[in-house]
Amino acid sequence: MKNFLLIFCVLALLISCKGKNKANAVKETRTSGTLKILVDESVGPIVQDQIDVFSLDYPDAKFQTTVKPEEKLLPAFLNDSVRVIVLPRLLTKAEEKYYNQRNIKINTSRFAVDGIALITNQGNIDSTINVKEVIDILQGKKSDKKLVFDNAYSSTFQYFKKLANINQFPATGVYSKNSSKEVIKLIAEDKNFIGILGVNWITGKDAEMSGYLSQIKVLGVKNVKGEVGDDQFYKPTQNNLINGVYPFLRNINIIDCEGRDGLGTGFATWLRSQRGQLIVLKSGLGPHKLMPREINLTKESNK
């Protein structure tokens, strides 16, 4: 009899806990639930800014964010572990096949225009560089300049491999660290390198990096002849990103393959809303679209 009562009590407790968990579970909508999202490290700051404000607006929305270099993220995205990813590029045809074969719709939304910045130490006499010089270094041609990337698996690394039309970088002249923060720290301490990283890492308000950022400067870049931006040296300022004259431009996209109308859809829509676009503007990046300014007109009193 005692054993029977013990089993009964345990079962009653389990049923009670299950009922409470079900009652406490947040229903998934466009503004509530839990979203697993992969974020390319080179655009991490702007995405985190967006998540912070979205979470304030919608407290029932929770994010499980994984921030890594592009090539470290893609396996989880392509094997269906996580279906939402933020990349500074579009999926390739080969990558799209993973979802097309399962008849899962791919929704891609651009929400910002990013640039890849070239930075150097304040003590370096150089303040400009042209695209041809960068390509020459990447192709292994002799140069007194040394480039250092945020990560050997990053999207910036892939961008420049494609630009220089090479499969791998030369044995000398090109190096990589483990993160954008490490690149900033290296450039702040050593004037012998040119760092390459996403613009939002040098326009953010990261207190940890502020001291290092004060020791670096951003190089002006001139494009190859015949391309936009070949008339002078341009820095990756917000206006130059918006006008498209800075040579190293790329779009930041949120790619949603959840196959349902949920928090992923809601967040993607919000990123392109006026609220989301104002955050992009504040970050120093180029917005997907410029928000119309509201002008208050008042009638002047007759004198």
| Inter-residue contact 86 to 42 (CB < 8 Å) | no
pLDDT at 207: 79
Q: How far apart are CA 173 and CA 169, in angstroms?
A: 9
**What would the pLDDT profile of 272-281 be if each residue is shown by its tens digit?**
999 999 999 9
Amino acid at 121: N
Residue 184: pLDDT band (50, 70, 90) is very high
| Inter-residue contact 64 to 36 (CB < 8 Å) | yes
| Inter-residue contact 187 to 197 (CB < 8 Å) | no
pLDDT at 206: 75
- Nearest CA to 150 out of 180, 174, 195 is that of 180
Strand pairing partners for 86?
Answer: 39, 254
Residue 20 pLDDT > 50: no
pTM confidence score:
0.86
Place of tokens 């002078």: 232
